[in-house]
């Protein structure tokens, strides 16, 4: 009887999986007149935490572009492939997209490690891509096909050092960051910038992305006399770090990288946890004085039942930037690359884009802080560290 | 000195969580010989179900906790029906891989059901600070230590003061003899899986107010709990708890005084040292003793 039940369940599962596969959309092939582009996005795994926002905003951009008559009268279709949290999956996703859909353009995701892994394949495919990973190492490779649609981490790190020393007039600053190219790279740039400004960092503490207790690092920096901590984090850790800062009664501000004020993080923080913190990010979306930005943020919130973030808006803007480039140069990859590279002062929702010879599109960050007793952020200032 | 006290409290409370998860590993290992690589997923499941019951549905604390216990017990029962019973006669390695695969399925399932964003659970533990002179201690961490103690005491009472506990212990000792004594071994094994799931969920309930519930939260804690089992002695109940506390202390003290970047390396180095020089761990029994 048990054997029969098991066999029954197995057959049922096989049928369900089979039916699911049969119901899945056919492989990405361009319909008559359609322009098919690709997007490799982490839809599953912990990376989906930020991947979800640009998965949403790219779909929103696709609908909006088609609603406005498409690209040169042709419908735009974005084919997605999941990259999960694995470099191998990301590389395979890109290759699969390029082989099956033969797109003239692909959006890569916001994770530097995956951007670095996919970079050789991009060079091989010879098609332009846009990416949002902040690691300086990607642009340093000098791949002419890669265009970054967010400020790189060095911009934010330098801005944090400037803000801490010039605006807050601090003399003793601690650094903290997640292990890896992003966190430790950001700490390195911030440390150099601080030294140039005459401030020696009191300590540098690292934690692993999977860590859930950072009290030792926080206490260590406090004991070394830090008056503030500049922190480079992914999105999962800020709720823990900020709560522990309050619970340990540290009483010093944290100047956090952009993930510390993403809605995915602040949604699970309390207003007390955020009190006395600053965030270096691309732009202020919710609560922006510009009605165009505010309207976009409200529409995103309504559509996806979750607040928008700077990653999402970067890809939304990227899609419209691409539309402009295709309208100018057509679908030939080389001509399209030239058109993207020559983009100057493209005013998107979240930023103004001008690509330099390294493919860097955004050159400034904003400093935001929560309004006292709330989780609503307000603009403190805009920083262009190169100035 | 103040810093040391704060670190010790944080280390011990984290260690208690590791101990609870390690206890789940040990119970199932003793009863079946299987290392359940999905034990961390029950931590995650407990946290998510608690968020749904207490925060999203707004159930009062006690009925909410009862609902969580029921749901996780059902999940534990289903888990052993799917991942253990159908292949229990197969090589151990196959069963262990099967538990890991079902664990991956549970993580993906959680991602589908609850989404990728962390969810808060604030109503279970008091979010206050205890100020003792210059030392500020989060009440949550102290409550974790006390609740773990209460849970362990309850478990001890169950195992050593009830007939069901006796049956479970007998089954863990020797299947055949237990069967000869009239114990329904199958039921005892099922009960152990359910108990293991409940212990994981208890850890999840205690952790969620500190970490928030997220699909990946179980993995981090399960790995440390596994190290705790090795250090304490795989198979030993007091060893699991002590091993957990030791791991909690080592990682926080290593991060504070040696290197925050290498704290996990130090923890696992100690685990490897135990495997090489003291494979029985602190309290483990000789393999021959159980045979």
Which H helix or E strand runs over A19?
helix A2-23
Q: Tell me which residue in B10, B119, B219 faces A268 most closely, judged by beta carbons.
A: B119
- DSSP β-bridge partners for residue A147: A130
DSSP of A319-350: HHHHHHHHHHH-S-HHHHHHHHHT--SEE-SS
Q: Determine the Cα–Cα distance for residues B36 and B32; give it in Å rounded to an integer.
A: 10
pLDDT of residue A36: 95
- Is the pLDDT at B262 greater than 90, yes or no? no
The yes-or-no verdict on residue B117 having pLDDT over 70 is yes
Per-residue pLDDT, A18: 42
pTM for this entry: 0.79
pLDDT at residue A25, as a whole number: 42
ipTM exceeding cut-off 0.85 for this assembly: no
Q: At what angle do helices B237-257 and B2-32 cross, to 10 degrees?
A: 150
Q: How far apart are CA B277 and CA B273, in angstroms?
A: 6
Of B3, B136, B260, Cβ closest to residue A207: B260
Residues 6+ apart with CB under 8 A from B89: none
- CA B160 from centroid of its chain's CA atoms: 20
Buried b (16+ CB within 10 A) or exposed e, B126-147: ebeeeeeeeebbbebbbbbbeb
Please write the tens of the pLDDT for every residue from B164-197: 888 888 888 887 888 888 888 888 888 889 999 9
pLDDT averaged over every residue in chain B: 86
- Among residues B35, B14, B51, the alpha carbon closest in space to that of B196 is found at B35
State the burial class of residue A11 (Cβ atoms within 10 Å of its Cβ: 0-12, 13-18, 19+): exposed
Contact B10 A207 (CB under 8 A): no
- How near does any CA of chain B get to the CA of A267, in Å? 8
Would you say residue B95 has pLDDT above 90? Answer: no
Q: What is the maximum alpha-carbon separation in chain B? A: 61
User: Smallest Cβ distance to A216: which of B7, B136, B217?
Assistant: B7
Note the pLDDT of residue A22. Answer: 40
Phi, psi of B283 (to 5 degrees): -125, 10
Residue A264 near chain B (CB below 8 Å): yes
Q: Which chain B residues have a beta carbon less than 8 Å from that of A179?
A: 261
B271-284 residue pLDDT tens: 889 888 888 888 87
Q: How near does any CA of chain A get to the CA of B258, in Å?
A: 11
Burial (CB count <10 Å: 0-12, 13-18, 19+), residue A42: buried
* Residues of chain A positioned with their CB less than 8 A from the CB of B256: 216, 219-220
| Residue B180 confidence (pLDDT) | 86
Phi, psi (rounded to 5 degrees) for A232: -110, 105
> Which candidate, B263, B217, B272, places its Cα nearest to that of A179?
B263
Considering only residues 22 to 81 of chain A, which have any Cβ-Cβ distance to chain B shorter than 8 Å?
44-46, 48-49, 51-52
SS3 A361: coil
Query: To probe the interface with A, which of B117, B129, B222 has the most A CB atoms within 10 Å?
Result: B117
Residue B133 neighbours by CB under 8 Å, 6+ apart = B2
pLDDT recorded at residue B123? 64
Low-confidence ranges of chain A (pLDDT < 50): 1-2, 4-28, 387
CB proximity list for A241: less than 8 A, separation 6 or greater: A176, A214, A218, A231, A233, A254
**DSSP code at position A209:** T
pLDDT of residue B285: 63
């Amino acid at each position: 009887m048990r054997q029969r039940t098991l066999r029954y369940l197995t057959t049922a599962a096989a049928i369900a999986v089979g039916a699911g596969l049969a119901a899945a959309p056919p492989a990405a092939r361009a319909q008559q007149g359609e322009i098919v582009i690709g997007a490799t996005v982490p839809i599953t795994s912990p990376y989906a935490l930020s991947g979800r926002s640009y998965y949403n905003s790219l779909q929103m951009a696709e609908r909006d572009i088609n609603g406005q008559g498409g690209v040169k009268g042709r419908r735009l279709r974005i084919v997605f492939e999941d990259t999960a949290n694995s470099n191998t999956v990301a590389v395979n996703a890109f290759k699969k997209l390029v082989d099956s859909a033969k797109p003239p353009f692909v959006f890569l995701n916001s994770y530097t490690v995956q951007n670095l892994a996919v970079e050789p394949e991009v060079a091989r495919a010879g098609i332009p891509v846009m990416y949002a990973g902040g690691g300086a190492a990607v642009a340093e490779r000098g791949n002419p096909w890669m265009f970054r649609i967010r400020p790189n981490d060095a911009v934010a790190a330098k801005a944090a050092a400037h803000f801490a020393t010039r605006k807050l007039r601090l003399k003793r600053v601690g650094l903290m960051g997640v292990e890896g190219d992003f966190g430790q790279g950001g700490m390195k740039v911030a440390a150099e910038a601080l030294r140039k400004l005459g401030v020696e960092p009191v300590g540098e503490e690292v934690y692993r992305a999977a860590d859930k207790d950072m009290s030792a690092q926080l206490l260590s920096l406090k004991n070394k006399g830090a008056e503030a901590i500049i922190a480079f984090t992914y999105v999962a850790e800020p709720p823990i770090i900020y709560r522990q800062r309050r619970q340990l009664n540290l009483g010093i501000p944290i100047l956090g990288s952009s993930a510390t004020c993403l809605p995915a993080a602040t949604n699970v923080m309390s207003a007390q946890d955020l009190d006395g913190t600053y965030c270096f990010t691309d732009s202020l979306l919710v609560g922006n004085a510009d009605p165009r930005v505010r309207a976009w943020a409200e529409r995103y919130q309504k559509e996806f039942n979750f607040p928008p973030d700077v990653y999402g808006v970067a890809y939304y803007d990227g899609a419209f930037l691409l539309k402009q480039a295709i309208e100018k140069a057509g679908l030939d990859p080389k001509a399209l690359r030239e058109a993207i590279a020559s983009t100057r002062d493209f005013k998107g929702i979240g930023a103004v884009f001008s690509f330099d010879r390294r493919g860097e599109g955004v050159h400034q960050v904003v400093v935001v802080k929560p309004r006292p007793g709330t989780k609503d952020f307000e603009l403190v200032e805009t920083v262009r560290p190169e100035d | 000195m103040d810093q040391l006290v704060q670190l010790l409290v944080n280390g011990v409370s984290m260690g208690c969580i590791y101990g609870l998860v390690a206890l789940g590993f040990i119970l199932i290992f003793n009863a079946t010989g299987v290392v359940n690589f999905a034990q961390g997923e029950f931590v995650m499941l407990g946290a998510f179900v608690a968020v749904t019951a207490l925060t999203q549905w707004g159930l009062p604390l006690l009925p909410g906790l009862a609902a969580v216990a029921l749901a996780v017990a059902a999940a534990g029962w289903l888990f052993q029906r799917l991942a253990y019973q159908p292949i229990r006669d197969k090589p151990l390695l196959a069963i262990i891989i099967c538990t890991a695969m079902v664990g991956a399925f549970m993580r993906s399932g959680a991602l589908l059901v609850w989404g990728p964003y962390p969810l808060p659970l604030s109503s279970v533990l008091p979010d206050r600070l205890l100020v003792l002179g210059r030392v500020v201690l989060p009440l949550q961490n102290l409550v974790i230590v006390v609740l773990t103690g209460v849970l362990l005491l309850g478990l001890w009472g169950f195992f050593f003061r009830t007939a069901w506990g006796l049956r479970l212990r007998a089954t863990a000792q020797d299947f055949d003899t237990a069967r000869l004594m009239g114990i329904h071994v199958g039921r005892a094994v099922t009960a152990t899986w359910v108990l293991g799931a409940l212990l994981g969920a208890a850890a999840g309930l205690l952790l969620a107010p500190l970490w928030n519930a997220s699909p990946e939260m179980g993995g981090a804690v399960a790995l440390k709990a596994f190290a705790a089992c090795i250090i304490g002695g795989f198979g030993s109940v007091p060893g699991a708890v002590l091993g957990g506390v030791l791991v909690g202390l080592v990682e926080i003290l290593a991060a504070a005084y040696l290197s925050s970047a290498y704290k996990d390396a130090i923890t696992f180095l100690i685990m490897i040292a135990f495997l090489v020089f003291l494979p029985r761990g602190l309290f483990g029994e000789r393999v021959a003793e159980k045979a």
